[in-house]
Chains A and B, each alone.
Chain A
Amino acid sequence: DTAVSQTPKYLVTQMGNDKSIKCEQNLGHDTMYWYKQDSKKFLKIMFSYNNKELIINETVPNRFSPKSPDKAHLNLHINSLELGDSAVYFCASRQGLAGVNEQFFGPGTRLTVL
């Protein structure tokens, strides 16, 4: 009965590789997000999708490409991984009016780039 799930939970990879993180929500929400949390716990939004359409794209390198096959899924693909990409990546979802309702977060994916 997990509301927002992410896979994998841990990802260790070499610099230069390409990797994907998957996110699924079973809450019926229209809007999904990707956040990055760095080693100092600072949490910053990366992308937001509403009904499969991109609505927020913060200043993120174009090596990061989100893909939403349907409104229940928002995947994050990262090309040419760099050391600075090491972080915890959180997926979240929301229903209702923009900015008014709470967001539901997944458990996070800890990415380590060696």
Chain B
Amino acid sequence: SQQGEEDPQALSIQEGENATMNCSYKTSINNLQWYRQNSGRGLVHLILIRSNEREKHSGRLRVTLDTSKKSSSLLITASRAADTASYFCATVLFGNEKLTFGTGTRLTIIP
């Protein structure tokens, strides 16, 4: 069954506001990764957080991981029109090679 469920499915905010997306998963993980997909393009890796980490930052991105709740969040601060895209979380299990993707959040930034 699908490993990750993302919430919300779609999010529209004004440029300059912060955007928060959540990802929940079902079993213990090795790490969790966030990817961005612009319309009609491939996925681009944003950030990886390991199971023993609670928070990571990269530029305007902040990712948190709560392994007790089996959930992660991606915060994009000071959003820009160029942030309009779909965002996917993907989990990796211990001893497993593959990424299992969530359902994705479609983010629209309104100029």
- In the complex, chain B residues whose CB is within 8 Å of the CB of A90: 42-43
Interface size on B, residues (CB 8 A): 25
Contact A102 B45 (CB under 8 A): yes
Given contacts A41-B86, A43-B88, contact A99 B42 (CB under 8 A): no
Bound complex: CA A100 to CA B93 (Å): 10
Within 8 A of B (CB), among A79-102: 90, 92, 98-102
Query: A100 to B41, Cβ gap below 8 A?
Result: no
A48 touching B98 by the CB < 8 A rule?
Answer: yes
Q: Which B residues contact A (CB, under 8 angstroms)?
A: 2, 30-31, 33, 35, 37, 40-45, 48, 86, 88, 92-93, 96-101, 103-104
- Return 22 A-B CB contacts under 8 Å, by A number: A40-B103, A42-B2, A42-B104, A43-B88, A45-B100, A48-B97, A48-B98, A56-B98, A90-B43, A92-B42, A99-B31, A99-B93, A99-B97, A99-B98, A99-B99, A100-B31, A100-B92, A102-B45, A103-B45, A105-B43, A107-B41, A108-B41
